[in-house]
Amino acid sequence: MKDTFKHKGLRQQLVNIIEAKGIKDPKVLKAIGKIPRHLFMDSSFLDHAYQDKAFPIAADQTISQPYTVAFQTELLKIKPGDKILEIGTGSGYQTAVLCELGAKVYSIERQNELFKKTSKFLPKLGYRAKKLVFGDGYLGLEEEAPFDGIIVTAGAPYVPKPLLSQLKIGGRLVIPVGDDIQVMTMFTRKGPKEYEQEEFGEFRFVPLLGDKN
Protein backbone atom coordinates (compact mmCIF):
# COMPACT_ATOMS: atom_id res chain seq x y z
CA MET A 1 0.00 0.00 0.00
CA LYS A 2 1.32 3.39 -0.99
CA ASP A 3 1.12 6.97 0.14
CA THR A 4 0.36 9.01 -2.97
CA PHE A 5 -0.05 12.71 -3.85
CA LYS A 6 -3.79 12.09 -3.75
CA HIS A 7 -3.52 10.92 -0.13
CA LYS A 8 -1.33 13.93 0.73
CA GLY A 9 -3.91 16.28 -0.76
CA LEU A 10 -6.73 14.62 1.18
CA ARG A 11 -4.65 14.89 4.36
CA GLN A 12 -4.19 18.62 3.85
CA GLN A 13 -7.98 18.96 3.52
CA LEU A 14 -8.36 17.04 6.78
CA VAL A 15 -5.87 19.39 8.47
CA ASN A 16 -7.93 22.36 7.23
CA ILE A 17 -11.10 20.78 8.64
CA ILE A 18 -9.73 20.14 12.13
CA GLU A 19 -8.07 23.57 12.19
CA ALA A 20 -11.47 25.12 11.38
CA LYS A 21 -12.92 23.11 14.30
CA GLY A 22 -10.43 24.74 16.67
CA ILE A 23 -7.15 22.77 16.69
CA LYS A 24 -4.36 25.37 16.90
CA ASP A 25 -1.08 23.65 17.83
CA PRO A 26 1.06 23.74 14.64
CA LYS A 27 2.99 20.61 15.69
CA VAL A 28 -0.22 18.62 16.11
CA LEU A 29 -1.55 19.85 12.75
CA LYS A 30 1.77 18.97 11.12
CA ALA A 31 1.62 15.43 12.54
CA ILE A 32 -1.93 14.90 11.24
CA GLY A 33 -0.78 16.25 7.87
CA LYS A 34 2.11 13.81 7.76
CA ILE A 35 0.75 10.47 9.02
CA PRO A 36 -0.79 8.22 6.33
CA ARG A 37 -4.03 7.42 8.19
CA HIS A 38 -5.25 5.23 5.32
CA LEU A 39 -2.52 2.72 6.14
CA PHE A 40 -3.89 2.28 9.69
CA MET A 41 -7.33 1.23 8.44
CA ASP A 42 -8.90 -1.92 7.05
CA SER A 43 -8.97 -1.90 3.26
CA SER A 44 -12.78 -1.64 3.12
CA PHE A 45 -12.58 1.80 4.76
CA LEU A 46 -9.71 3.22 2.74
CA ASP A 47 -11.91 5.61 0.81
CA HIS A 48 -12.99 7.19 4.09
CA ALA A 49 -9.57 7.50 5.70
CA TYR A 50 -9.39 11.28 5.41
CA GLN A 51 -12.88 12.02 6.62
CA ASP A 52 -12.97 13.45 10.13
CA LYS A 53 -14.67 10.35 11.52
CA ALA A 54 -13.97 7.30 13.64
CA PHE A 55 -14.05 3.97 11.75
CA PRO A 56 -14.12 0.31 12.75
CA ILE A 57 -10.85 -1.61 13.08
CA ALA A 58 -10.34 -5.23 14.24
CA ALA A 59 -11.73 -6.68 17.50
CA ASP A 60 -14.86 -4.47 17.42
CA GLN A 61 -12.78 -1.38 18.14
CA THR A 62 -12.35 1.94 16.33
CA ILE A 63 -9.65 4.25 15.04
CA SER A 64 -10.55 7.54 16.73
CA GLN A 65 -11.80 10.62 14.89
CA PRO A 66 -8.80 12.78 13.84
CA TYR A 67 -10.28 15.85 15.56
CA THR A 68 -10.50 13.89 18.82
CA VAL A 69 -6.94 12.60 18.45
CA ALA A 70 -5.73 16.16 17.82
CA PHE A 71 -7.82 17.60 20.68
CA GLN A 72 -6.49 15.14 23.27
CA THR A 73 -2.93 15.51 22.00
CA GLU A 74 -3.12 19.30 22.16
CA LEU A 75 -4.23 19.13 25.80
CA LEU A 76 -1.12 17.11 26.70
CA LYS A 77 1.20 19.99 25.60
CA ILE A 78 3.96 17.55 24.68
CA LYS A 79 7.60 18.62 24.58
CA PRO A 80 10.20 16.47 22.76
CA GLY A 81 11.47 13.76 25.11
CA ASP A 82 8.33 13.75 27.31
CA LYS A 83 7.39 10.34 28.63
CA ILE A 84 3.80 9.64 27.58
CA LEU A 85 1.61 6.66 28.46
CA GLU A 86 -1.25 5.84 26.08
CA ILE A 87 -4.10 3.56 27.18
CA GLY A 88 -5.65 1.86 24.12
CA THR A 89 -3.06 1.40 21.35
CA GLY A 90 -5.75 0.26 18.89
CA SER A 91 -4.66 0.92 15.30
CA GLY A 92 -1.55 2.80 16.48
CA TYR A 93 -2.62 6.07 14.84
CA GLN A 94 -2.59 8.07 18.10
CA THR A 95 0.72 6.38 19.00
CA ALA A 96 2.16 7.65 15.71
CA VAL A 97 0.96 11.20 16.45
CA LEU A 98 2.69 11.07 19.86
CA CYS A 99 5.90 9.77 18.23
CA GLU A 100 5.78 12.59 15.63
CA LEU A 101 5.76 15.09 18.52
CA GLY A 102 8.98 13.58 19.85
CA ALA A 103 7.45 11.82 22.86
CA LYS A 104 8.84 8.63 24.37
CA VAL A 105 5.69 6.57 24.03
CA TYR A 106 4.49 3.68 26.18
CA SER A 107 1.17 2.21 25.08
CA ILE A 108 -1.10 -0.49 26.49
CA GLU A 109 -3.67 -2.50 24.53
CA ARG A 110 -6.08 -5.03 26.01
CA GLN A 111 -7.08 -6.82 22.78
CA ASN A 112 -4.38 -9.30 21.84
CA GLU A 113 -5.32 -9.24 18.13
CA LEU A 114 -4.75 -5.47 17.95
CA PHE A 115 -1.65 -5.61 20.15
CA LYS A 116 0.00 -8.14 17.80
CA LYS A 117 -1.08 -6.43 14.58
CA THR A 118 -0.08 -2.91 15.66
CA SER A 119 3.21 -4.02 17.24
CA LYS A 120 4.26 -5.34 13.82
CA PHE A 121 2.80 -2.48 11.81
CA LEU A 122 4.14 0.66 13.58
CA PRO A 123 7.89 -0.09 13.08
CA LYS A 124 7.21 -0.65 9.37
CA LEU A 125 6.22 3.03 9.17
CA GLY A 126 9.25 4.02 11.26
CA TYR A 127 7.32 4.63 14.50
CA ARG A 128 9.20 3.10 17.40
CA ALA A 129 7.34 3.34 20.68
CA LYS A 130 9.51 2.77 23.77
CA LYS A 131 7.19 -0.05 24.83
CA LEU A 132 3.96 -1.58 23.51
CA VAL A 133 2.29 -3.66 26.19
CA PHE A 134 -0.50 -6.25 26.06
CA GLY A 135 -2.32 -5.60 29.31
CA ASP A 136 -4.95 -3.74 31.29
CA GLY A 137 -4.79 0.03 31.05
CA TYR A 138 -6.77 0.48 34.28
CA LEU A 139 -3.52 -0.45 36.06
CA GLY A 140 -1.28 1.97 34.14
CA LEU A 141 2.38 0.98 33.87
CA GLU A 142 3.86 1.25 37.35
CA GLU A 143 7.33 -0.03 36.37
CA GLU A 144 7.82 2.88 33.93
CA ALA A 145 6.14 5.64 35.99
CA PRO A 146 6.15 8.58 36.50
CA PHE A 147 4.88 10.04 33.22
CA ASP A 148 4.73 13.60 31.88
CA GLY A 149 1.38 12.75 30.34
CA ILE A 150 -1.19 9.96 30.18
CA ILE A 151 -3.83 9.76 27.46
CA VAL A 152 -6.78 7.40 27.62
CA THR A 153 -8.33 6.68 24.20
CA ALA A 154 -11.44 4.79 25.38
CA GLY A 155 -14.39 5.92 27.51
CA ALA A 156 -13.63 5.33 31.19
CA PRO A 157 -16.61 4.77 33.53
CA TYR A 158 -14.44 6.23 36.32
CA VAL A 159 -10.92 7.65 36.73
CA PRO A 160 -8.53 4.79 37.57
CA LYS A 161 -6.45 5.78 40.65
CA PRO A 162 -3.18 4.24 39.33
CA LEU A 163 -3.26 6.65 36.37
CA LEU A 164 -3.40 9.65 38.70
CA SER A 165 -0.62 8.34 40.93
CA GLN A 166 1.64 7.55 37.94
CA LEU A 167 1.81 11.22 36.86
CA LYS A 168 4.86 13.39 37.54
CA ILE A 169 4.20 16.56 39.51
CA GLY A 170 3.06 18.91 36.72
CA GLY A 171 1.99 15.93 34.58
CA ARG A 172 -1.40 15.71 32.85
CA LEU A 173 -3.95 12.92 32.53
CA VAL A 174 -6.37 13.39 29.61
CA ILE A 175 -9.28 10.99 29.94
CA PRO A 176 -12.85 10.81 28.58
CA VAL A 177 -15.04 9.97 31.59
CA GLY A 178 -18.57 8.59 31.41
CA ASP A 179 -20.67 5.67 30.23
CA ASP A 180 -22.62 6.35 26.97
CA ILE A 181 -21.27 9.86 26.48
CA GLN A 182 -17.99 10.99 28.01
CA VAL A 183 -16.74 14.33 29.27
CA MET A 184 -13.17 15.02 28.20
CA THR A 185 -11.43 15.61 31.51
CA MET A 186 -7.89 16.70 32.31
CA PHE A 187 -6.18 16.24 35.68
CA THR A 188 -2.97 18.17 36.30
CA ARG A 189 -0.90 16.95 39.23
CA LYS A 190 -0.07 19.97 41.36
CA GLY A 191 1.48 18.14 44.35
CA PRO A 192 1.79 14.63 45.79
CA LYS A 193 -1.92 14.58 46.59
CA GLU A 194 -3.25 17.63 44.75
CA TYR A 195 -4.84 17.55 41.30
CA GLU A 196 -6.51 20.30 39.30
CA GLN A 197 -9.50 19.05 37.29
CA GLU A 198 -10.74 20.71 34.07
CA GLU A 199 -13.49 19.63 31.66
CA PHE A 200 -13.62 20.13 27.88
CA GLY A 201 -17.01 19.06 26.57
CA GLU A 202 -18.65 15.85 25.45
CA PHE A 203 -17.19 13.12 23.25
CA ARG A 204 -18.14 9.54 22.32
CA PHE A 205 -15.69 6.66 22.65
CA VAL A 206 -15.84 2.87 22.73
CA PRO A 207 -15.69 1.78 26.39
CA LEU A 208 -12.52 1.17 28.38
CA LEU A 209 -12.91 -2.55 28.96
CA GLY A 210 -12.76 -3.88 32.49
CA ASP A 211 -12.34 -7.35 34.00
CA LYS A 212 -15.87 -8.40 33.16
CA ASN A 213 -16.15 -7.35 29.50
- For residue 209, state whether it binds ligand SAM (rule: CB under 6 A): yes
- Interacting stretch for ligand SAM, rule CB under 6 A, among 7-15, 25-33, 133-141, 190-198? 133-141
Near ligand SAM in 149-178, by CB under 6 A? 153-154
Rounded Cα distance between 191 and 159, Å, is 18
State which of residues 23, 28, 37, 64 lies at the interface with ligand SAM (CB under 6 A): 64
* 43 is annotated as an active-site residue: no
Segment interacting with ligand SAM (CB under 6 A) among 85-93, 122-130, 174-182, 187-195: 85-93
> In whole angstroms, what separates CA 125 from the centre of its chain?
17
Which residue, among 116, 53, 70, 51, has the nearest Cα to 90 in the 3D structure? 116
| 106 φ, ψ (degrees, to nearest 5) | -115, 130
Of the residues 78, 98, 145, 208, which one makes contact with ligand SAM according to CB under 6 A: 208
Question: Is 134 in contact with 115 (CB distance < 8 Å)?
Answer: yes
110 binds ligand SAM, rule: CB under 6 A: yes
Single-letter amino acid, residue 27: K
Distances (CA, A) of 199 to 69, 72, 141, 186, 203: 16, 12, 25, 6, 11
Candidate list 43, 44, 64, 165, residue with the active-site label: 64
Of 63, 99, 129, 145, which one interacts with ligand SAM (CB under 6 A)? 63
Spatial neighbors of 26 by CB under 8 A, at least 6 apart, are none
Nearer to ligand SAM, 44 or 193 (CB): 44
Binding piece for ligand SAM, criterion CB under 6 A, among 7-15, 41-49, 55-63, 184-192: 55-63
Closest distance of CB 6 from ligand SAM, Å: 23
Q: How far apart are CA 28 and CA 45, in angstroms?
A: 24
Classify the phi-psi angles of 140: left when phi > 0, otherwise alpha if psi is within -120 to 50, otherwise beta: left
Nearest to 103 by CA among 121, 65, 126, 130: 130
136 binds ligand SAM (CB under 6 A): yes
Work out how close the CB of 192 gets to ligand SAM at its nearest, in angstroms, rounded to a whole number: 26
The nearer residue to ligand SAM, 69 or 167, going by C-beta atoms, is 69
What are the residues binding ligand SAM (CB under 6 A)? 61-64, 87-88, 90-91, 93-94, 108-111, 114, 136-138, 153-154, 205-206, 208-209
Could you give the residue numbers annotated as active site? 64
